[in-house]
Amino acid sequence: MKELLERYPASTEYLLDMLHDLQDAEPKNYLTPQALRAVAEYLSIPLSDVVSTATFYTMYSLKPRGTHVIRLCESPPCQLVGAETLLDILAKHLNVGVGETTEDGAFTLETASCLGVCGVAPAMMIDEELYGNLTAARVVEVVEDVRRRDETG
């Protein structure tokens, strides 16, 4: 953790970068209490300042998440072509609500504001990967593909 932080000068200007890196390094895709404390110490600022910033931005989570984070775009261009139905299908398929993690800890289902790939709406991101032109069948297929990839290593 220390190593990650020391790549940046000890200035709050790099706080967002540090939070990104620490979250990416955590297998459960979230900012652990230890990580938040480490940042506060490194920057010599109160822990509450770090938490305040971390809780403002949707890309950070203070709760453990699944191995993979699904972010389905729900902005108007995607909505126009059926994103709402896709959310129901995903929720049902994974048996979770929005913001929840599957029992096996594989997926967290989230919604996102415009992902900026409206040309292939409806779209979603799983971790850093983008998927577009989604349909009811394809959305399940994509999730299962990711699951299979994990199982076969």
Partner 1 sequence: MRLARGHVLIGINDEALLAGARDVQSALADALTAHGLADEIEIIETGDLGATGQGVVLSVYPDGVMYVNVSVGDVEEVVTEHLLKGRPVERLRLVGHLEAAPARAHKRIVLENCGVIDPHSLEQAIAVGAYAAMAKIVEKEIAPHDVIDIVKESGLRGRGGAGFPTGLKWSFTAKGEQVYIICNADEGEPGTFKDRLILEGDPHRLIEGMMIAGYAVGASKGYVYVRGEYALSIERMQTAIDAAREAGLLGERIFESEFDFDIEIKKGAGAYVCGEETSLIESIEGKRGYPRLKPPYPGAVGLWDKPTVVNNVETLANVPPIVLHGAEWFRSYGTETCPGTKVYTILGHVEKPGLIEAEMGTSLRTIIDEYGGGVKDDKAFKGALIGGAAGAFVCPDCLDKPMDFDGLKELSAVLGSGAILVLNEDASIVDMLDGILSFFRHESCGQCAPCRGGTRALKAIMDRIRDGQGQSGDLDRMVEIATSMQAMSLCPLGQSAILPITSAFQHFRPEFEALIT
- Select from 14-22, 26-34, 95-103, 143-151 the region that touches partner 1 (CB under 8 A): 14-22
The residue within the footprint of partner 1, chosen from 87, 131, 143, 146 (CB under 8 A), is: 131
Q: Count how many Cα atoms sit within 13 Å of the Cα of residue 16 in the half-sphere of its side chain.
A: 5
The candidate with the shortest Cα–Cα distance to 39, out of 48, 29, 26, 28, is 48
Total site size for partner 1, rule CB under 8 A: 39
Q: Applying CB under 8 A, does 56 fall inside the site for partner 1?
A: yes
Among 97, 128, 148, 151, binds partner 1 (CB under 8 A): 128
Decide: is 20 part of the binding site for partner 1 (CB under 8 A): yes
Among the listed residues 6, 24, 46, 58, the single contact to partner 1 using CB under 8 A: 58
Out of 40, 91, 106, 118, point to the residue binding partner 1 (CB under 8 A): 118
Q: Select the residue interacting with partner 1 from 126, 130, 136, 140 (CB under 8 A).
A: 130
Q: How far apart are CA 64 and CA 96, in angstroms?
A: 15
Strand order in the sheet with 107-112: 107-112, 68-73, 124-126, 129-131
**Angle, nearest 10°, between helix axes 47-56 and 33-43?**
120
Type of residue at 114: C
Phi, psi of 68 (to 5 degrees): -120, 140
Give the footprint of partner 1 on this chain (CB under 8 A).
Answer: 11-17, 19-20, 49, 52-53, 56-60, 74-77, 79-80, 112-121, 125, 128, 130-133
